[in-house]
Amino acid sequence: MRWAALGVVYVVWGSTYVGIRFTIETMPPLLSAGTRFLLAGLVLALVVHRRLRMTWPQFGTAALLGLLLPAWGNGLVVLAEQSVASGLAALLVASVPIYVVLFRRLGGERPPYVTYVGVAIGLAGLAVLLLHDVGGSSWWGPWVVLLASFGWALGSYLNGRLPTADPFAMSAVEMLVGGALLSVVGVVAGERVTLSEVSTTSWFAWGYLVVFGSLLAFSSYVYVLGQLPVSTVATYAYVNPVIAVLLGVWLADEQFGPWQLAGGLLVVVAVVLVVRAERKCRTGVGVSETCRR
């Protein structure tokens, strides 16, 4: 089940970048993201209400991760996509594994050398993709996405090192906290929703983000964080750009040529290397000494 859940994160989250783009065409960015997580968190909380009992330390972890993941991580990406193409945003979010490896090293861990090789190959693939003109970005947009990636990576890293409860209960609280924070900031910033001005496309995209991007994929992400090494989970950031580029070709008439194909193949190779290296590090009774986490 854990690998199936990771597969959901691989595929579905790659599509959310295009979904965000269509949503904010006629919806304010922060309020659209905030209400998306609030609704998804409320539905999930109702479904798993019997599992919602938490200690205060566990609730504190969920609240912190709600700040770092939905609010900081996703919220900044939504803001950036006002001036950054969805494909480029997905490419920049692929910096998450680099941050994760950095956090692991600062925490005294020793990822296997093959993990570093995989990260390097993944970066090479991303560099190939980034060299192709994706255009249309402001000077600040890409930096906001990189900042979002830092917050997301930090939350992912801390998830396995702080007190946690049932993963679906944690996911519900995280989405409620993150959604509430984004909504409050949006209102304070002067955002307002005029229902008559919201297009059918934006409504459809927003609904897709609620059901698939939040309820399904975000819950799957929180679940696999507790089941697999964080470096393995972080490889979704290598696959998402490929999905995002392909959907950009299909839905937004973006170009895809030989350079994108070459970069995508490098990304797939990187994912295989990192996943295999991390799986070999885990033994039947725990984690080997050379890969101590």
Confidence class of residue 254 from pLDDT cuts 50, 70 and 90? low
pLDDT band at 286 (very low <50, low <70, confident <90, very high): very low
pLDDT by residue (tens digit) across 181-239? Answer: 999 999 999 999 989 999 999 999 999 999 999 999 998 998 998 888 877 887 887 78
Q: Which of 7-16, 27-36, 107-116, 140-149 has the highest mean pLDDT?
A: 27-36
Rounded Cα distance between 96 and 226, Å, is: 18
Does residue 68 register a pLDDT over 60? yes
Confidence check: pLDDT of 291 > 70:
no
How large is the average pLDDT for residues 9-28? 93
The band of 290, judged by pLDDT with boundaries at 50, 70 and 90, is very low
Separation between Cα atoms, residue 119 and residue 243, nearest integer Å: 19
pLDDT at site 38: 97
Q: What percent of the chain has pLDDT over 90?
A: 43
- pLDDT at position 241: 81
Q: What is the pLDDT of residue 136?
A: 53
pLDDT of residue 293: 44
pTM higher than 0.95 for the full model?
no
Q: Is the pLDDT of residue 280 over 80?
A: no
pLDDT, the chain, mean: 85
pLDDT tens-digit profile of 101-152? 788 888 887 878 888 888 888 888 878 876 764 455 677 888 898 899 999 9
Mean pLDDT of 251-256: 71
Instruction: Write down the pLDDT at residue 12.
Output: 92
Residue pair 11/243 in contact (Cβ under 8 Å)? The answer is yes
Say yes or no to pLDDT of 272 above 70.
yes
Mean of the pLDDT values across residues 54-81?
95
Q: What is the mean pLDDT of residues 38-48?
A: 95
Query: 3-state class of 283 per DSSP?
Result: strand
Q: Give the C-alpha separation, 42 to 40, whole Å.
A: 5
* CB contact burial 3-40 (16+ within 10 A = b; e otherwise): eebbebbbebbbbbbbbbbbbbebbbbbbbbbbbbbbb
Nearest alpha-carbon partner for 16 in 4, 28, 24, 27? 24
What percent of the chain is modeled with pLDDT above 70? 89
